[in-house]
Every structure is written in C-alpha cells, then in structure tokens.
Structure 1
C-alpha cells in the first residue's frame, strides 16, 4: 500500500464542509460557532472522553460569562461539572481566562514563548504558566484540565488537547479555523490520541510503543516526509480512520 497516496486521498475526502456535523460529531463543531481562540481553548481542554458527552457539556456552557465578573461566573457555573472536573474547576478556568484576556491574548503569550527557538512546546508552556498564574486555585481536576509545564518528551503526556487546539488555531481549511498566524504551521506537533496512535503503528508510521509526547514528535517527523510544510493536514484523516475502524 502506498501510505502517502492513501492518506492524501483521505485528507481530500475529509476536508469538506459537513465532515463535522451533528451527525458526525467533533468538539470543533462547537468551537467554530464562535471563531474565538479563548472559547476554542475551553472546547479543546474538555475534549476527552465520549464525543457526545463532550459536545453536550460544551453546549451547556454560556461563553458570554468570559465578559462577566467573578461572582457572576461563579453563580452561573456552580452546577456545571464534567468527568474529572468539579464545578470549582470549571469556574476557575473561566475566571483565569477572563483575567488573562483583560491583559493580553493567548496568541501573544504563545508567541512570546515560541519565538526564540521556534518551539511549540515552549509556546504552550508559556500559555499554561500564564493561566495558572491568574489564580492560586488548584485541585486534581484543575491540574488535569490545564496540564503542567513540560520539560521532557519521553514518558511525558502527549499534550493531545493542547496540540489539537493549536491545529485548530493555525491550520485553515474546511475543518480547522486558522485564527492565528500561519508561521507556526510547519512546527506543529500532532495531537496524538489512541486512535491516531494505533492507526499510525498499523501503517508503519510510528515504531515507538510508548504513548507519550516523544511518540507524537516522532509521528510528526514521519508525516513531514509526506508534507514538510503542513504535516498536520494528516491528523484529522488519521483520527477518522481509527475512529471509524477503517483499517
């Protein structure tokens, strides 16, 4: 099998209006209603578990709260929770992002971390640090939601939800929104989930057996042999191949 030809065909097949819909769910469906980086980040961070439950939870959120005061946010979200996150965790995220947006933007924070070494992980570390600095609040659920500064790749979490957020923000096609500068495009790292991990091993694109950030980096390097400027264009296709059990 010609892997590149197979994946290129899958990319073309998936890159269409309607590929993501109420009948074919993905969290980006909610994010694209708003075309807003902060709302998109909330959608991405809660993107774990069953996709129907993810979308149901995201649909329950009032994103206009990002313009409200702390007390209004607390009162509106006191009954909202999702899997590992209690209401206090949801409230803390909204409060932190509201405070951050009053001072700067997510893209500026990301760019400040990224620009010296053109390193995506450095950019994400900058954003994660800034969010955590907005409030002293902490809990197990909140730590899971936001993540932590990453200083190693082997054995480290794959940062799947964060990498997916970056794909949404940087790439521009019928799936992704392209709200940020395209200068980051060739440096993006694939948002590795179990579907993509398993499919990539079956296709011989990934030899690493450990599901970690190093595996995401190695898979991205393999995909660069197909398209050095936009290796991320294969991500959604690989994901759907696994999700729909087409291999």
Structure 2
C-alpha cells in the first residue's frame, strides 16, 4: 500500500500544473478556470459527459456572461445551441435557471443551506431542489443535466462531486472559490476511468460504479491523506485515460 501511495503522490505532483489543462489535454476545468466564477463552473461541470472534445467545443462556444442579461436575450442568443441529450430549449432554460440562482445569492449560498443541516449530500440535494424550484420547465434532457436528489442507491453523482472538488480545493488545477466546507469532506468524483484504475490498484472492491463505491474509494484515500483525500482524483483519472497503469 505504501508503494501505491508513493506512486499516487508522484502523480499528484506531476499533474498539479497549468500544462495539464490545455488544448492538447482538454478538460472542462480549463473552461471553468477561464471564466473563474461558480456559475460558469457549474455549467462546465454539468455538461461534462460524453466525448471530452465535444464537451470543450460546446463550452467554448458559450458566453457564460449571458446569465447577466435578461431572459429574452438568453433565448435569442442560445436558440441554436444543443449538446447530446440537451436541445436548444433545454440549454436556454438551464441558463435562465442559473440566472435566477445567481440573483438569489448564488450556488454556494444554496449549497450551504443543506450542507449546514446534514453535510455534503444534503448540500447537493438542497441545490438540486432549488434549481427545480426556480424553473418549472421539464424535459428528459433538462432533468438529465441537473440530475435527481441523492438517495442511498444513487449513482456516483460524478459531475456534482467534481464540481465540489473544483470549488473547495485550491491548487494549480482546482479553483478554491468556496469557504463553506473543508477538502477533507469531499467525495470522490467517480467515473469509469477512476473506477477501473482504483480497482486495479486494490483501492476499491465494490463491483458497481455508484455512490457507495465513491465513498469507499474516498475512505481508502483518506488513509493516504485524511485532510485532502480527493487530491488524488485527477491523477487517478489521467492514469486511466492515458492507459498508463501497468501491472
């Protein structure tokens, strides 16, 4: 296990630099960092599914400042935008919802409402519920984008957990815009790459890539660094993405 820790620590040092976020190594975080605010970052995180080049293409085509305009302008500017499960109306309504959230104090404020009552899961649920309350619009694409409140049998909620990582941690990768919680409370943003690499390293034994697996992996990584277990996320992800894991 010490050998695994040493390898991951070395990968963390290697990855913790601006060069990891560039056109040659595209990641939604590079667009989030370009805009540098919590609302733009939430858009980048929630659209972070599918082919990474397609994700970046969409995100770079969006002027995130649109939420500071009126709703009719949002509809006019975004009428021809779409991405996989989201048609143009889904994207328009998402930006309208985000505009309303910003006007009510922003993302961290509404996360904090739930977090202060029951921790990270309640914080995410509070945000999801607020987003749905702010806009009655519904479609399959819109609901997929935001997701459903977390239950004990939920998926890994990778996009939401990744967003929290960006907001709470601070280094050359993560933005550290929030003060509401500590990095020690984060849960691993578990995707297929991270899941497979972690199983291969013996850090994870659960067979299903779900929230329980994300918590199991987080607890394993706390043995390496109890104050910042999710610092290993990007390293594990890149090891899987680049197929660099041997043995």
Task: Give runs of aligned pairs for residues 1-247 of structure 1, distance below 5 A.
Answer: 2-117=3-118, 119-152=119-152, 154=153, 156-181=154-179, 183-247=181-245
Give the 3-state SS of the residue equivalent to 2:80 in structure 1. Answer: coil
Q: TM-score when scaled to structure 2? A: 0.97
Structure 1's unaligned 5+ residue stretches are: none
Partners of 1:216 and 1:168 in 2: CA distance = 17
Tell me the CA shift for residue 17 of structure 1: 2.0
Alpha-carbon RMSD across the aligned residues, in angstroms, is 1.0
Tell me the CA shift for residue 88 of structure 1: 0.8
Q: TM-score when scaled to structure 1? A: 0.97
User: Is the CA contact (8 Å cut-off) linking 1:170 and 1:185 kept in structure 2?
Assistant: yes
Paired residues, number: 244
Runs of 4+, deviation exceeding 6 Å: none
Partners of 2:144 and 2:238 in 1: CA distance = 25
Partners of 1:9 and 1:21 in 2: CA distance = 21
User: Is the CA contact (8 Å cut-off) linking 2:184 and 2:229 kept in structure 1?
Assistant: yes
Partners of 2:28 and 2:107 in 1: CA distance = 19
Tell me the CA shift for residue 130 of structure 1: 0.7
Q: 1:65 to 1:48 in 2, by over 3 A?
A: same
Give the 3-state SS of the residue equivalent to 2:243 in structure 1. Answer: coil
Give the 3-state SS of the residue equivalent to 2:54 in structure 1. Answer: helix
Tell me the CA shift for residue 182 of structure 1: 6.5
Partners of 1:45 and 1:165 in 2: CA distance = 8
Tell me the CA shift for residue 246 of structure 1: 0.5
Tell me the CA shift for residue 145 of structure 1: 0.2
User: Is the CA contact (8 Å cut-off) linking 1:10 and 1:237 kept in structure 2?
Assistant: yes
